[in-house]
Chain A
Amino acid sequence: MTKKSLFDKVWEAHSVRTLPNGQTQLFIDTHLLHEVTSPQAFGMLRDLNLPVLYPQRTFATVDHVIPTDSAQRQEPYADELAVAMLNELRKNCKENNIRFFDVTSGGQGVIHIVGPEEGITQPGCTITCGDSHTATHGAFGALAFGIGTSQVRDVLASQTLSFAKPRLRRVQVDGKLAPGVYAKDVILHLIRKMGVNGAQGFAHEYAGEVFDNMDMEGRMTVCNMAIEGGARFGYINPDQTTVEYLKGRPYAPKGAAWDEAVKNWLSYASDEGCHYDEIIKFRAEDIAPTVTWGINPAQAVAVDEKIPALCEIPADERAGAEEAFEYMQLSPGQPVAGTKIDVAFIGSCTNGRLSDLREAAKYAKGKQVAAGVKALIVPGSQIVDKLAREEGLDKIFTDAGFQWREAGCSMCLAMNPDKLVGRQLCASSSNRNFKGRMGSPTGRTILMSPVMVVAAAITGEITDARKLFGIA
């Protein structure tokens, strides 16, 4: 029997045919929608007089534009454009019989948090969404990838799309992570080492001891940021951890169908000795809490390192680095620790899950947010919100001076009232530090793990959480 990778197995199981343009017509099991990238796709369908082919394979929620402040969340929202987008999605879902996790459903949240927690995300599936962080679902051993709106139209109309197969790279991280080093640090480290476009043309299989030992929520954090290194796909082979996570979730199979599904899911895992176009190996021991200093996620250092001097930066990256220094108002050669912050944000599809909030609460407990720092905790979904409140996490955070918000994308891309003002600098658990990303054209973002955000919130500056909290 030929040894095959998960990528090849799933790809083959979903290939309808080779199109005349040489690309594969790929069947999509599950299509996720949100309000930003779908309305135009439904408009195109109406123009072409085409129906949604398999509405039962399509799931939607509202996340980007929804206010997270309870008072501002009463409909109609102050922002008329946000109202129009939400209502358009409601209408499109209703007319086409698509399951919509609406605000009143108790299941609303960031789409990449809703899919997994509902058990909609399953191994061996192809999953698309008009959102670049769709690779999050790859944590389950699914081929999940972001698409543009015209492709959203294609999937709605045909449940397929035209796609060229990428090359496959195994990104192996062996060894054990040190205390205080999280999934977020792993992916920031990998992007830093491989570059912001180091994965262009590749799908990444994250493998090795570190990922074998990682829980599902950590795996989701890693796969979530595959695109930040240029990889459209990132996945982890399904194993017992995956199966345990899915058991009992609303959309997971039940009874006899469950056993059959588990067998099927595990069969997709890459065969030992299968072909990879490339293999890159890293050591867990080399990974420290990592923070960005620039305007793309690869411009990063360990928190106890200095921001690189220009001479330490490869010649072809220097112009970008200089632009970053100027925008961030940071100096090359200086320690990144000690950089003053104005805002602290924990949330997003990268780090807005229950385990993120639990771990952050562990260190926020009994502490106080520094004077002048605005600190937000935004649960990734209404379910995360509910579970966290049942554990009293909200109380721990509010006692410490954090604001506890309702589910949504919030500051990660600020298409809602949560925005930076002027040149404010935000310590953020999100995924992008692009110029203007957090709503102010001059606002600044430093990416890090949720525990590192807590450390920054308490001290008012970028701080090594290991030292502050005595994590060893």
Chain B
Amino acid sequence: MKLPEIKQVVSTAVPVLGDDIDTDRIIPARFMKCITFAGLGQYAFYDERVAADGSLKGHSFDDPKYTGATILLSGSNFGCGSSREHAPQALYRYGIRAILAESFAEIFFGNCTTLGVPCVQMQGADIAQIAQMVQSDPKTPVTVDVENSQVKAGDKSFPATIRPGAQKALVTGKWDAIAELLEAKAGIAALEAGRPKIAL
């Protein structure tokens, strides 16, 4: 199973600022009533975007100036709460290909990496600066250099952190672990044989 090597993501960025944006906000639970992830993209941030009467609240995902942006900007502890892969799946299917934030909740981080979506940690001030740049000029090109831990916005460069394990997995095209896990069948069988059975 050959996966693409994700060395960089080049696009424009859409800000969804604020701290502790939880998975219930990214995808409300009622949209998880499904047996496939297909079609989840339209429900990303649904309750943040759509009011009870169906009118739009003016969320940046609905702002035409950010159409086509695949890099999401946010605050600290992004993706906290549930383990639902529906959250990164909804963002991915909406079109998001990289997330820049001050920090990430752990399960969300792992789920994104498995989908090949780099979660890149940056200083809050740098994110604020990039947000300002894209707010005043949404066409500002943004490059997430996964390989060199750097983000470029317009002509400015910012330091970034990508956890080493995830970084290596992304740039070498090994972000989905299943093939590697299955290579160790003999080791798994040996370990399994020594573990207590949970049986009636």
Chain B residues whose CB sits within 8 angstroms of the CB of A230 once the complex forms: 77, 80, 105-106
The reply on A88 being an interface residue by CB < 8 A is yes
Kindly provide the distance from the CB of B46 to the nearest chain A CB, expressed in whole angstroms: 8
Q: Min CB distance, A303 to chain B, in Å?
A: 23
A362 to chain B, nearest CB (A): 32
**B64 at the binding interface (Cβ < 8 Å):** no
Chain A residues within 8 Å of B184, by CB: 16-17, 25, 158, 160
Contact A251-B200, Cβ < 8 Å, known A147-B107, A196-B77:
yes
Contact A441-B81, Cβ < 8 Å, known A19-B180, A20-B180, A148-B107: no
Q: A88-B35, A130-B85, A439-B29 provided; 8 other pairs, C-beta below 8 A?
A: A16-B187, A39-B36, A79-B33, A81-B33, A131-B83, A146-B107, A227-B107, A436-B25
B88 cross-chain contacts in A, Cβ below 8 A: 148
Which of B35, B188, B197 gathers the greatest number of chain A CB atoms within 10 Å? B35
Instruction: Name the CB-closest residue of B to A89.
Output: B35
B181 vs chain A, min Cβ distance (A): 4
Considering only residues 145-182 of chain A, those with a C-beta below 8 Å from chain B are 146-151, 153-154, 157-162, 164, 166
A320/B20 contact (C-beta < 8 A), A20-B180, A43-B35, A150-B114 known: yes
Instruction: Tell me if A160 and B181 are in contact (CB < 8 A).
Output: yes
The residue in chain A whose Cβ has the minimal distance to the Cβ of B114 is: A150
Residues in chain A near residue B28, CB distance under 8 A: 436, 441
A27 vs B195: C-alpha distance in the bound complex, in angstroms?
A: 10
Q: Which residues of B contact A131 (CB under 8 A)?
A: 82-83
- Tell me if B77 and A22 are in contact (CB < 8 A): no
B195 & A415 in contact (Cβ 8 Å cutoff): no
**Chain A, 12-32, contact with B by CB distance < 8 Å: what is the 0/1 string?**
001011011111010101100
Interface size on A, residues (CB 8 A): 84
* Complex contacts, B115 vs chain A, CB 8 Å: 150
Is A146 touching B29 in the complex (CB atoms < 8 A)?
Answer: no
Q: Are B83 and A19 in contact, CB atoms less than 8 angstroms apart?
A: no
> Is B145 interfacial (CB 8 A cutoff)?
no
Chain B contact-residue range equals 35 or more
User: A148 and B85 in contact (CB under 8 A), knowing A17-B187, A25-B181, A251-B198?
Assistant: yes
Encode B162-200 as 1/0 by CB contact (under 8 A) with A.
011100110010101110111011011001100111111
8 Å CB contact of A122 from B25, B181, B196:
B196
Query: Judging by beta carbons under 8 Å apart, are B176 and A40 in contact?
Result: no
Q: Of the candidates A39, A250, A261, which one forms a contact with B200 in the assembled complex, judged by CB atoms under 8 Å apart? A: A250
Minimum CB distance partner of A132 in chain B:
B83
Task: Report the separation of the CA atoms of residues A415 and B28 in the bound assembly, to the nearest whole angstrom.
Answer: 10
Closest residue of A by beta carbon distance from B34 = A81
Bound Cα distance A146, B176 (Å)? 18
Q: Mark B30-50, 1 if CB is under 8 A from A, else 0.
A: 101111110000000001000
Residues of chain B contacted by A147 (CB below 8 angstroms) = 83, 107, 110
B191 to chain A, nearest CB (A): 5
CA distance A153 to B114 in the complex (A): 11
Question: Of B18, B25, B35, B165, which is within 8 A of A164 by CB?
Answer: B165
Residues of A within 8 A of B165 (CB): 21-23, 164
- In the complex, B76 has a CB within 8 A of chain A: yes
The residue on B at minimum CB distance from A24 is B165
**Mask: chain A, 408-442; 1 = CB below 8 Å from B; 0 = not:** 00000111000000000000000010111101011
- C-alpha spacing A35/B84, complex, angstroms: 12
Bound complex: CA of A256 vs CA of B47, how far in Å?
56
Do the beta carbons of A435 and B80 come within 8 Å of each other? no
Taking the nearest CB of chain B, how far is it from the CB of A95, in angstroms? 14
Contact of B83 among A25, A125, A148, A439 (CB under 8 A): A148
In the complex, A54 Cα to B188 Cα: how many Å? 11
The answer to whether B70 has its CB under 8 Å from any CB of chain A is no
Q: Are B180 and A162 in touch, CB under 8 angstroms?
A: yes
Identify A154's interface contact among B30, B35, B168, B181, CB under 8 A: B181
* B77 CB contacts on chain A under 8 angstroms: 196-197, 200, 230
Specify which chain A residues have a CB less than 8 angstroms from the CB of B174 in the assembled complex.
20-21
Residue ranges of A at the interface with B (Cβ–Cβ < 8 Å): 14, 16-17, 19-23, 25, 27, 29-30, 36-37, 39-40, 43, 48, 50, 53-54, 56-57, 59, 64-65, 79, 81-82, 84-85, 88, 120, 122, 125, 130-132, 134, 146-151, 153-154, 157-162, 164, 166, 196-197, 200-201, 227, 230, 232, 250-251, 253, 261, 264, 296, 316-317, 319-320, 323, 413-415, 432, 434-437, 439, 441-442
Query: With A157-B182, A296-B20 given, is the CB distance from A132 to B82 under 8 Å?
Result: yes
> 8 Å CB contacts to A: which residues of B94-150?
103, 105-107, 110-111, 114-115
**Smallest CB separation, A256 vs chain B (Å):** 14
Residue pair B188, A85 in contact (C-beta under 8 Å): no
State in angstroms the CA–CA spacing of A439 and B32 once bound together: 12
Q: How far is the CA of A149 from the CA of B110 in the complex (A)?
A: 11
A29 CB contacts on chain B under 8 angstroms: 195-196, 198
Q: Nearest chain-B residue to A21 (Cβ)?
A: B169
Q: Which residues on B sit within 8 Å (CB–CB) of A25? A: 180-181, 184, 187
A82 CA to B33 CA in the complex, in Å?
Answer: 7
Contacts of B178 in A (CB 8 A): 48, 150, 153-154, 157-158
Residue ID in chain A nearest B169 by CB atoms: A21
Q: Give the residue name and chain of the A residue nearest to B78 (CB).
A: A197
User: Can you give 22 contacting A-B residue pairs, CB < 8 Å?
Assistant: A16-B191, A19-B180, A19-B181, A21-B168, A27-B191, A37-B83, A54-B192, A132-B83, A154-B178, A157-B178, A159-B188, A166-B106, A196-B77, A197-B77, A200-B103, A264-B196, A296-B22, A296-B80, A316-B19, A415-B33, A435-B24, A436-B28
Q: How far is the CB of A295 from chain B (nearest CB, A)?
A: 8
What chain B residues lie within 8 Å of A39 (beta carbons)? 35-36
